[in-house]
């Protein structure tokens, strides 16, 4: 049925066809981003008209200034930044300690502890939200930075531990043994010998933690109610609820773009480490 000619034509066409399909799919994927940026630069009229223009006639960069005056986006950004950086510091320190113990130290219950440390992955954030809310309330931590920093750290540490553990297992134990023979304490070995070697997986972990903490929505909405303490991901959702007619979609999307750009840029710059870290974690 397939002549030799047809088959060889198909073989030749396969690659360019696949690549074309790839480009089409990518274009569809990217379209929402394009639309977000394009609409953020339109005038109010251009987002309130049908059919909508593909591109703004004159880019309204002033929309971004307006967005920042409609909601304290800068303050939200600062809150998010504080939370993200703190989450990274806390999680990295704690999970490095845990991963080191899990790999280089022999102790009873090692496997059980590892399973416990992976437990947060099976917990649904929505289910945890209410009882955790009560715990935070009793500890008087609501509406503070730790209200987000600590739960994020707990939720994201399994990932960190898995990556670090996987990487640590490739480090020869002789290194640690040498330190012990020299009389160094385990903590010293961890800090001076092992930690400097952890740069690759730590880079991936730090990127993940930053992006996840920046984007997280549920806890950020429920645990922080004080307006000025809110994070950036809630901040833009709140903008939508301002009653305006016609709705200022251009300003709203300008805010959304402003909030998304940092993580998009961070990710694009570090995407190699990100995906390598992810695939390593998935295989191990």
Residues 4-23 that bind other proteins (CB under 8 A): 18-19, 21-22
Residues near other proteins (CB under 8 A), total: 92
By rule CB under 8 A, what string of x and - marks binding of each residue 183-222 to other proteins? Answer: --xxx--x--------------------x--xx-xx--xx
* Shortest separation between residue 172's beta carbon and other proteins, angstroms: 18
Secondary structure of residue 136 in the 3-state scheme: helix
* Shortest separation between residue 251's beta carbon and other proteins, angstroms: 11
Residues 137-166 that bind other proteins (CB under 8 A): 137, 150-151, 153-154, 157
Distance CA 204, CA 60 (A): 36
Q: Which helix (H) or strand (E) holds 130?
A: helix 125-138
Six-digit token string for 172:
């020869």
* Shortest separation between residue 33's beta carbon and other proteins, angstroms: 7
Q: What Cα–Cα distance (Å) separates residue 120 from each residue in 112, 124, 204, 261?
A: 14, 8, 20, 29
| Displacement of CA 131 from its chain's centroid (Å) | 24
Longest CA–CA separation in the chain, Å: 77
Distance CA 208, CA 131 (A): 26
Tell me the helices (H) and strands (E) count for the chain, helix number first: 12, 0
Residue placing its CB nearer to other proteins in the complex, 167 or 214 = 214
Segment interacting with other proteins, rule: CB under 8 A, options 49-57, 59-67, 68-76, 196-204: 49-57
Distance CA 80, CA 234 (A): 10
* Shortest separation between residue 171's beta carbon and other proteins, angstroms: 16
Residues 254-273 that bind other proteins (CB under 8 A): 256-257, 259-260, 263-264, 267-268, 271-272
Contact 114, 102 (CB under 8 A): yes
Residues 113-142 that bind other proteins (CB under 8 A): 113, 116-117, 119-120, 122-135, 137
Axis crossing angle, helix 249-283 with helix 146-168, rounded to the nearest 10: 30
Residue placing its CB nearer to other proteins in the complex, 59 or 114 = 114
Which residue in the set 63, 79, 86, 249 belongs to the binding site for other proteins (CB under 8 A)?
A: 249
Which residue in the set 163, 234, 248, 251 belongs to the binding site for other proteins (CB under 8 A)?
A: 234
Distance CA 270, CA 256 (A): 22
Residues 55-94 that bind other proteins (CB under 8 A): 94
């Amino acid at each position: 049925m397939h002549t030799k000619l047809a088959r060889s034509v198909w073989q030749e066409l396969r690659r360019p066809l696949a690549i074309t399909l790839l480009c089409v799919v990518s274009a569809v994927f990217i379209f929402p981003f394009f639309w977000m940026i394009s609409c953020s630069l339109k005038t109010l009229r251009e987002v309130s008209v049908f059919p909508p223009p593909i591109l703004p006639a004159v880019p309204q960069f002033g929309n971004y200034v307006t967005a920042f005056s409609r909601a304290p986006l800068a303050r939200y950004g600062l809150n998010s930044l504080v939370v993200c950086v703190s989450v990274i510091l806390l999680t990295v320190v704690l999970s490095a300690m845990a991963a080191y113990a899990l790999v280089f130290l022999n102790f009873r219950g090692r496997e059980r502890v590892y399973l416990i440390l992976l437990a947060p992955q099976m917990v649904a954030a929505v289910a945890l939200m209410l009882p955790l809310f009560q715990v935070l309330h009793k500890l008087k931590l609501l509406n503070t930075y730790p209200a987000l920093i600590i739960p994020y750290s707990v939720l994201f540490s399994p990932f960190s531990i898995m990556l670090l553990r996987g990487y640590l297992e490739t480090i020869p134990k002789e290194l640690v043994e040498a330190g012990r023979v020299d009389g160094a304490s385990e903590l010293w070995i961890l800090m001076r010998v092992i930690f400097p070697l952890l740069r690759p997986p730590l880079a991936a972990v730090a990127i993940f933690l930053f992006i996840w903490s920046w984007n997280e929505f549920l806890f950020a909405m429920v645990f922080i109610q004080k307006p000025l303490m809110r994070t950036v991901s809630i901040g833009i959702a709140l903008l939508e609820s301002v009653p305006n007619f016609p709705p200022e979609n251009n300003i709203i999307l300008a805010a959304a773009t402003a909030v998304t750009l940092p993580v998009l840029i961070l990710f694009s710059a570090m995407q190699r480490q990100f995906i390598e870290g992810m695939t390593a974690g998935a295989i191990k």
